[in-house]
Structure 1
């Protein structure tokens, strides 16, 4: 029987196992933006902060929330969006979902209100794995892999994201979605 993990691709979601034991990723869903031979770059989709984009960028006037993209370089800003028509230099992650692009265009579109929370999400920091590191975690069954679509990502409340991704997978995963955060309290 083959016990090798499912291969990871750009656009995959890594869903943290319910009792992973890593505070950085507890009940997290990570979007894989880039996966190649040297490593993996991803963004945690469901760790919203109390900080807004306008709090950290002086010439942006918005209350768009910031998310913690992961524990690596939390002094960096990253973003995903579904508006490559407004943002040059966007990198396609999966159908209708893009990462990065011309930040000056983003600032202008956000200030004009043509880019809203329904089309873009901002992150401080990111999640990163060196060559072989993520594969090792997959062998240890620390993550469940799923695919995503931009509509699901932007239309699902972040507080329900972990549960909803598992419910959509169905089967045994639907049951996992209802596991308590602390089984001792059950």
Structure 2
């Protein structure tokens, strides 16, 4: 990625994290869930730039979500979940390279599973407030809202990855110079 794309992706991820914590979380949504805008932005980066960029974007965005004021969970919990999801979706991005709709659906599914993974990690860490049943009940609502957000936002961001031609390695014959007589 060049410097301009890195700057644009960083700005997008910062905006998504702040919007998730300050706007999306405070709006009244139909159903028990809300769209996962920050996770969707991370997975959009993973789809366009690959697994490594998705993992780095997920870690940075997740750490920002962990440190934003209403956070009352273990620091690093969102960072781990979004880093893992960014990496996994980035690995699957090669399979959906030709379909924008499939890419948006994959990102929406991954973003909708982010609260489930967050809750499971909370259970592993011993958080008494982690409620897997409640997270499962919110999953359909979160998935629908996140899919709607993905269909609206990701096609503008999703560019086809350039598949470069494979490198052809030719046989090189080593010529040993003969001794000078």
TM-score greater than 0.5 by the shorter chain: no
Structure (1 or 2) with the larger CA radius of gyration: 2
Flag the structure with higher strand content.
1
Flag the structure with higher helix content.
2
Given the two structures, how large is their TM-score scaled by the length of structure 1?
A: 0.25
